[in-house]
């Protein structure tokens, strides 16, 4: 542990001015950002009030999915704070074995494990909010406490997953998600130290991965940060997907890791996406291909240009046939409309592909939408960035609400222009006299 601490807290390396971090500020939608970044224009004032007279859609706050996720995270947090590690690991193991999920498809075991490490990771993230630790921040206190818990029960695979994931979360907090050349040397060193320790923990419990989606997910998260041969990455993700093929996040993460910037290339991404679609056809239909491509094509111009657009859209239909819950409906509608439709790349051929995907949002809204989930629309506008730091959740959700209302008004422009009201019920959109 002392060697690990020395690697984290070693002398600060001098970085050239162009790599220095700028001051953080809060954007109009409640997201922390560097002041040098261009800010999107604020939504027009009173847009919601104007549209609410003509368009009515239920907007639960929180949604059923959010309530369920919060409850499982809170359960993990409560048991960790009370240091009831036996009960915590037993409940996580049961959820993991039963493949229990929220209505929107999020594994319960992952949510409880996140709650269990939330205090430790949250403290580290707060200390590193500006990219550098605040003076006197006790960066190692929380993770050392978790290490002591693991030392008391070193063969417990669930504890191993919690501690390894905590190290990786802290490692990413140190590094950020920018290009490697933009990361200060001290931050890279801390990132490597945390991932090295996570690797030691995962390797010690390698015998348990084959039976546990949570352990398999932990191993995949480790490979995402450490690199390695593409064949090794593929094998690890295949194990995770075979253990839990209904977990769409596994497919999304797999596709993203096969981009050239990480562990693969475009040909391998296409090949593995088609293989996954075949292996999961009974669960997702063509949707396996779509889940694999979802994040990859939103961040990579060449991947988007190469995507089989017909196969991708068929997959959207099949996903909603197999998972018609409103969380998934909102996620895919917001992805098509906001992530792909509102973020042109400036590359004409790629933007044509993105426009075709954006068109799918129209039939998703008309055929499947019954309620609005603003947070998903807000995250879609930011590309579903996992490293996004939201300072004001209410402001962030309000930006998603405004985006969604503007889009819905465009979809139903003809009906609204004819004097009709658009009212969403549990059966979908209905046209009523104004």
pLDDT of residue 8: 44
Residue found by looking up tokens 């499982």 in the block = 72
CB atoms within 10 A of CB 136: 7
pLDDT of residue 158: 96
What phi, psi does 8 have (nearest 5°)?
-70, -45
pLDDT of residue 106: 97
Residue 126 DSSP SS3: helix
Pairing of strands 428-433, 420-425: antiparallel
Q: Are 258 and 272 in contact (CB under 8 A)?
A: yes
Separation of alpha carbons 370 and 286, rounded Å: 24
What phi, psi does 31 have (nearest 5°)?
-100, 135
DSSP state of 44: P
What phi, psi does 412 have (nearest 5°)?
-105, 30
Residue found by looking up tokens 């403290």 in the block = 123
- How is residue 97 written in tokens? 């074995």
What is the sign, positive or negative, of the torsion defined by CA atoms of 397, 398, 403, 407?
A: positive
pLDDT of residue 45: 37
Residue 65 DSSP SS3: helix
Per residue of the chain (434 residues), what is the pLDDT tens digit?
544 444 444 432 332 232 233 344 445 444 544 434 444 443 443 333 344 578 999 999 899 999 999 999 999 999 999 999 999 999 999 999 999 999 999 999 999 999 999 999 999 988 887 667 767 677 789 999 999 999 999 999 999 999 999 999 999 999 886 667 778 888 899 999 999 999 999 998 888 887 899 999 999 999 888 877 899 999 999 999 999 999 999 999 999 999 998 889 999 999 999 999 999 999 999 999 999 999 999 999 999 999 999 999 999 999 999 999 999 999 999 999 999 998 788 889 999 999 999 999 999 999 999 999 999 999 999 888 776 677 788 899 999 999 999 999 999 999 999 999 999 999 999 999 97
For residue 362, give Cα distances in angstroms to 330, 352, 369, 390, 404.
12, 16, 10, 29, 12
DSSP state of 40: P
Separation of alpha carbons 127 and 237, rounded Å: 32
Pairing of strands 55-56, 420-425: parallel
Residue found by looking up tokens 């320790």 in the block = 197
pLDDT of residue 384: 86
- How is residue 424 written in tokens? 């969403």
| Residue 28 half-sphere exposure toward CB, CA atoms < 13 A | 12
């Amino acid at each position: 542990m002392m060697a690990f601490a020395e690697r984290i807290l070693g002398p600060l390396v001098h970085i050239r001015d162009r790599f220095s971090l700028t001051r953080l500020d809060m954007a109009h939608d409640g997201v922390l950002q560097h002041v040098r970044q261009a800010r999107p224009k604020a939504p027009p004032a009173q847009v919601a009030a104007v549209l609410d007279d003509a368009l009515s859609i239920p907007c639960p706050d929180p949604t059923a999915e959010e309530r369920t996720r919060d409850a499982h995270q809170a359960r993990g947090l409560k048991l960790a704070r009370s240091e009831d590690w036996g009960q915590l690991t037993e409940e996580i193991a049961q959820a993991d074995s039963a493949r229990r999920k929220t209505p929107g498809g999020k594994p319960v075991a992952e949510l409880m494990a996140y709650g269990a490490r939330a205090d430790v990771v949250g403290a580290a993230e707060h200390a590193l909010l500006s990219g550098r630790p605040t003076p006197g921040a006790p960066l190692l206190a929380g993770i050392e406490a978790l290490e002591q818990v693991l030392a008391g029960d070193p063969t417990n695979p669930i504890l191993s997953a919690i501690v390894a994931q905590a190290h990786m979360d802290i490692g990413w907090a140190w590094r950020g998600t920018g290009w490697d050349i933009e990361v200060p040397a001290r931050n890279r060193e801390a990132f490597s130290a945390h991932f090295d320790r996570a690797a030691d923990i995962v390797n010690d419990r390698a015998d348990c991965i084959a039976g546990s989606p949570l352990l398999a997910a932990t191993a995949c998260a480790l490979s995402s940060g450490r690199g390695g041969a593409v064949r090794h990455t593929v094998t690890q993700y295949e194990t995770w997907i075979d253990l839990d093929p209904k977990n769409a996040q596994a497919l999304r993460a797999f596709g993203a890791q096969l981009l050239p910037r990480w562990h693969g290339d475009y040909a391998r991404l296409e090949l593995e996406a088609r293989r996954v679609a075949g292996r999961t056809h009974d669960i997702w239909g063509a949707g396996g291909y779509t889940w694999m491509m979802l994040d990859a094509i939103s961040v990579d111009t060449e991947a988007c240009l190469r995507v089989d657009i017909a196969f991708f859209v068929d997959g959207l239909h099949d996903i909603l046939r197999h998972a018609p819950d409103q969380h998934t409906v909102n996620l895919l509608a917001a992805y098509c409309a906001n992530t792909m439709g509102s973020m042109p790349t400036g590359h004409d051929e790629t933007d044509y592909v993105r426009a075709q995907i954006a068109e799918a949002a129209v039939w998703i809204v008309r055929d499947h939408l019954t309620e609005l989930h603003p947070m998903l629309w807000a995250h879609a506008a930011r590309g579903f960035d996992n490293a996004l730091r939201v300072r004001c959740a209410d402001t962030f959700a309000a930006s998603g609400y405004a985006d969604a209302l503007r889009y819905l008004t465009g979809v139903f422009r003809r009906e609204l222009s004819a004097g009709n009201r658009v009212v969403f019920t549990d059966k979908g959109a209905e046209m009523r006299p104004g």
